[in-house]
Structure 1
Amino acid sequence: MSVKIGNIDLGEFPLLLAPMEDVSDPPFRYVCKQGGADMMYTEFISSEGLIRDAAKSRKKLDIFEYERPIGIQIFGSDIESMREATEIATLAGPDLMDINYGCPVKNVACRGAGASLLQDIDKMVKMTDAVVKATHLPVTVKTRLGWDDNTKNVEEVAERLQDIGIQALTIHGRTRAQLYKGEADWTLIREIKRNPRIKIPIFGNGDVDSVEKAAAWRMEYEVDGIMIGRAAIGYPWIFREVKHFFKTGEHLPGPTLDERIIACRTHLNKSIEWKGDKVGVFEMRRHYSNYFKGLPDFKQYRMMLVKEENIETINQILDEVAEKYEHIAPFSEMA
């Protein structure tokens, strides 16, 4: 059975790329799509920023044909602003709209947006209703188990948001109070999936960082798909590896050094194409250490890469890395 969001067919058990602030931009999404992600989302975009026409918010609306299906994710604390932002974002031509009710960081949650809406389900329902009515696109939601251990109210959230027309729900298996600490708990996610009233796809998110975990949690928690976030940073191959394991029960060999360098160069080139030379090179700096995690004595190269501004020189440094480490085994074997 295929999983569907509106008319979007995501196949039997989709793997979604999580929307991550300062990470899930078009260059990163490009390498993840190549790595096998079935659906992706933009970084979350402030509704107020879109309405004010803030350059940073507008730039996050950039989506490309190769990324489809892709959702634009918005957040905010004001219902009317969210309605207006939905109309603006719909014009950018995504395949769906997603609302962030999960972000735990202070400057979002303490302004009444993101996960803070878990403290006011009535307002969350009204806001979601306004978004659903403001677009012809399917609307999905990403949220958490609740605000804290005493208010795990995601079961009520799932039923009420489904009733007003959302077409899929992604649940991160932590409360807002946990931030990203401790272990994600998917047992409530399974309860929602087992609720006979729930008909929409339910996706699980949080701590999926290996093929074994993805396979075990698929069975144990009965979700319709899995959203992968931090484990894809510097390792876009996780999607293809999980899919291969689902199909065959066997591990694909980890990426070779060549594959690592190609992905890193591709990411850099896409970053430069999208943001221009100066910003493109600067924004790539946070990714180098992730692509080459596990290489012995890599620090000197990392220092060179993060300091260098000249694109040609960066490519020469990557050539040196290729030469120095050419006899190294595929990376998953080194982990």
Structure 2
Amino acid sequence: MVQIDKISLPDFPLLLAPMEDVSDPPFRAICKENGADLMYTEFISSEGLIRDAINCRRKLDIFEYERPVGIQIFGGDEDSLAMASKIVEVTNPDLLDINFGCPVKKVAGAGAGAGVLKDIDLMVRLTAACVKATNLPVTVKTRLGWDEDSKNIEEVAERLQDVGIKALAIHGRTRSQMYKGEADWTLIGKVKNNPRIKIPIFGNGDIDSPQKALEYKNRYGVDGVMIGRAAIGYPWIFREIKHFVQTGEVLPGPTVAERVAVCKQHLHGAIKWQNQRVGINEMRGRYANYLKGLPNIKEFKSRLVRLNEVEEVEEVLDEIFRTYQGFEIEHTPIELIDYHQNCPL
């Protein structure tokens, strides 16, 4: 069992990474059903929370069925992060996470997210401010360093543990790499195996199959893995990893019926969370990922993204089910998208 303060997680827990414009409540509900053990909200600007920005406040929405769930914030000012921590605490999540890993220019260039990797003393002060401001357990997600010449994650892990964080998730790339190249888990393993480190260490980056998850578990000794891009359009990755780690058997991929059912579930979840117009619009960018691998699916997708009524969308989804019923999609490692290119920031 893995402990984050008083939060008990199973052995080798699977975490859903916080992803802007992805990790919203409808998507989190689907990932939870498929085996995600701990999930995070989309990241929230500390300044936006303080200004009462409506988009930021909406991201605070969490539901009982999601627990344990963490709310993630970002910022580069101690007072703002401390105040945002107090606001977050009122919504009663299970933990508060600080984002020191977002590489997007709009965030990092403003001295937040991965931009804080340039100043480790500032990172420590920001973290300490959050720990002091809230009774929630505080965790951090970050990267190896700013660039190849400043991979300081070993120092960062020790110093953040010293000021009171309860767990650390590490993405195996620098900020300069963005999402290019292959994630390097060597330093993640060094952090985990540092005798000074007592908090759980979660690895993140390029987990695209159950086989790789188990391989990295055994090779680097991490307490669990955080999955981001591989879950986009493929929430079944959680159940497949769990089954493989426990049995050594590879589960068959989701059937066409499961894919269509998840499209409908996500659609209705998005509408319930917001409204019909916004929910239908937001789903237009999701169908392609859920239906990936079906031959000659382009015509159906082009129809789905033009529809404005729930009943019409469901009719097309039912037609997809009838057309492809019994078709088996080849089960291959998931193609990881360049999330930076698709991030709305």
Please state if 1:332 is matched with 2:323.
no
Match of 2:13 in 1: 14
Please state if 1:249 is matched with 2:248.
yes
3-state secondary structure, aligned to 2:250 = coil
Contact 1:255–1:331 (CA under 8 A) maintained in structure 2: no
Contact 2:208–2:333 (CA under 8 A) maintained in structure 1: no
Match of 2:181 in 1: 182
Please state if 1:61 is matched with 2:60.
yes
- CA RMSD in angstroms comes to 1.0
Contact 1:46–1:75 (CA under 8 A) maintained in structure 2: yes
Contact 1:294–1:334 (CA under 8 A) maintained in structure 2: no
How many angstroms apart in 2 are the aligned matches of 1:76 and 1:164? 18
Please state if 1:169 is matched with 2:168.
yes
Match of 2:285 in 1: 286
Shift of 1:332: 2.2
Match of 1:125 in 2: 124
Give the AA of the match of 1:134: A
Match of 2:309 in 1: 310
Contact 1:102–1:115 (CA under 8 A) maintained in structure 2: yes
How many angstroms apart in 2 are the aligned matches of 1:113 and 1:46? 9
Match of 1:229 in 2: 228
3-state secondary structure, aligned to 1:243 = helix
Q: TM-score, normalised by structure 2?
A: 0.96
3-state secondary structure, aligned to 1:143 = strand
How many angstroms apart in 2 are the aligned matches of 1:5 and 1:252? 30
3-state secondary structure, aligned to 1:297 = coil
Match of 1:48 in 2: 47
How many angstroms apart in 2 are the aligned matches of 1:284 and 1:241? 24
Contact 1:254–1:333 (CA under 8 A) maintained in structure 2: no
Contact 1:19–1:41 (CA under 8 A) maintained in structure 2: yes
Shift of 1:327: 2.4
Shift of 1:194: 1.0
Contact 2:74–2:81 (CA under 8 A) maintained in structure 1: yes
3-state secondary structure, aligned to 1:273 = helix
3-state secondary structure, aligned to 1:62 = coil
Give the AA of the match of 1:319: D
Shift of 1:264: 1.0
Q: Give the gaps of 5 or more residues in structure 1.
A: none
Q: How many percent identity over aligned positions?
A: 63
How many angstroms apart in 1 are the aligned matches of 2:333 and 2:88? 43
Shift of 1:334: 11
Contact 2:293–2:329 (CA under 8 A) maintained in structure 1: no
* Residues 108-130 of structure 1 deviation map (CA, whole Å, 9 limit, x = unaligned): 00000000111101111111001
Give the AA of the match of 1:289: A
Match of 2:136 in 1: 137
Give the AA of the match of 2:76: S
Give the AA of the match of 1:251: V
Match of 2:84 in 1: 85
Shift of 1:137: 0.8
3-state secondary structure, aligned to 2:146 = coil
- Counterparts in 2 of 1:23 and 1:333: CA distance versus 1, 3 Å: closer
Please state if 1:76 is matched with 2:92.
no
3-state secondary structure, aligned to 2:286 = helix
How many angstroms apart in 1 are the aligned matches of 2:319 and 2:188? 47
Give the AA of the match of 1:297: N
Shift of 1:330: 5.0
Mapping 1:252-271, distance limit 5 Å:
252-271=251-270
- Counterparts in 2 of 1:113 and 1:333: CA distance versus 1, 3 Å: closer
Match of 1:323 in 2: 322
Match of 1:212 in 2: 211
Q: Give the gaps of 5 or more residues in structure 2.
A: 335-345
How many angstroms apart in 2 are the aligned matches of 1:233 and 1:134? 33
How many angstroms apart in 2 are the aligned matches of 1:32 and 1:331? 22
- Counterparts in 2 of 1:251 and 1:77: CA distance versus 1, 3 Å: same
How many angstroms apart in 1 are the aligned matches of 2:275 and 2:331? 33
Contact 2:100–2:112 (CA under 8 A) maintained in structure 1: yes
How many angstroms apart in 2 are the aligned matches of 1:285 and 1:140? 33
How many angstroms apart in 1 are the aligned matches of 2:110 and 2:319? 47
